[in-house]
Amino acid sequence: MAQGKPATAPAPAAPASTKPAPPAQLEKFSGKIKSVDAMAKSIVVAKEKTEKTFVIDESTKITKGKETVALADLKAGTKVAIEAKKEGDKLIASTIKVSKAVKK
């Protein structure tokens, strides 16, 4: 048996899929609903000069106080606070909290 240098195997590259993905950062935004598109399941919310479009999916929770609200109940001019996660170039709404109207 010849005693030569043992062949050094290159370190295996860890596949990117085994690395746990960082937790999705939730983006918070609040303002007034500018428009609701029930067909596209999206809403546009405006605050001052900023407008953002949020996509609503089956996991989106829409609430007003302790009540669950449907997308169809959202109207332009309603104040909302949204938490959304960014997926690609879309903002997917996780929660939409509808402000209760203050009666005077």
Question: What is the domain extent for residue 80?
Answer: 25-98
Claim: this prediction has a pTM higher than 0.75? no
Q: Tell me how many domains the chain contains.
A: 1
| Predicted local distance difference test score (pLDDT) of residue 14 | 52
Q: What is the CATH number of the domain that holds 94?
A: 2.40.50.320
| Residue 103, domain member (yes or no) | no
Residue-wise pLDDT for 22-76, tens only, equals: 566 789 999 999 999 999 999 999 999 999 999 999 999 999 999 999 999 999 9
Cα 26 to Cα 51: distance, rounded to the nearest angstrom = 17
Confidence of residue 5 (pLDDT cuts 50, 70, 90): low
Confidence of residue 7 (pLDDT cuts 50, 70, 90): low
| Residue 65, domain member (yes or no) | yes
| Residue 9, domain member (yes or no) | no
| Predicted local distance difference test score (pLDDT) of residue 102 | 56
| Residue 77, domain member (yes or no) | yes
| Residue 36, domain member (yes or no) | yes
Phi, psi of 73 (to 5 degrees): -80, -10
Cα 61 to Cα 79: distance, rounded to the nearest angstrom = 16
| Predicted local distance difference test score (pLDDT) of residue 2 | 54
| Residue 14, domain member (yes or no) | no
| Residue 51, domain member (yes or no) | yes
Cα 98 to Cα 66: distance, rounded to the nearest angstrom = 10
| Residue 46, domain member (yes or no) | yes
| Predicted local distance difference test score (pLDDT) of residue 19 | 54
